[in-house]
Amino acid sequence: MLAEEIIDEAIKGSEKYDRGERDTLLSISSDSDWQPQDGYDVIRNNEFISLQNKQLRFLALQPIIGAIASRLAKTKQIRHFLFYG
């Protein structure tokens, strides 16, 4: 369903993220942004990773991903957004 190049780039993006590199920083720092200094023996909460890494954002915003999500959710629309409340 996805080109091999997209997957390869996403893997590179994930590795980059795990090294602590971010393309975009979150406006609010919280427990939702695992960093290497947090340790490797903890649960890595990376719920906003696609907002911080361009390769993973490109993967997450592929039309086929939205189409599958929409079909599974039985809705016509899927939104990808950030909410801090």
| Residue 68 covered by a domain | yes
| Residue 78 covered by a domain | no
Q: State the total domains in the chain.
A: 1
Give the pLDDT band of residue 81 (cuts 50, 70, 90). Answer: low
| Residue 17 covered by a domain | yes
| Residue 43 covered by a domain | yes
Query: What was the pLDDT predicted at 85?
Result: 44
Rounded CA separation 76/85 (Å): 26
| Residue 80 covered by a domain | no
Rounded mean pLDDT of 52-75? 93
Rounded CA separation 65/44 (Å): 23
Query: What was the pLDDT predicted at 15?
Result: 95
Token couple for 32: 């939702």
Rounded CA separation 42/65 (Å): 29
**pLDDT one-digit tens code per residue, 8-48:** 999 999 999 989 899 998 877 667 778 888 888 888 778 78
| Residue 82 covered by a domain | no
Record the pTM: 0.77
| Residue 24 covered by a domain | yes
Determine if residue 20 is left, alpha or beta; phi over 0 gives left, psi from -120 to 50 gives alpha, anything else beta: left
Residues shown for the chain: 85
Structural domain harbouring 12: 4-73
| Residue 81 covered by a domain | no
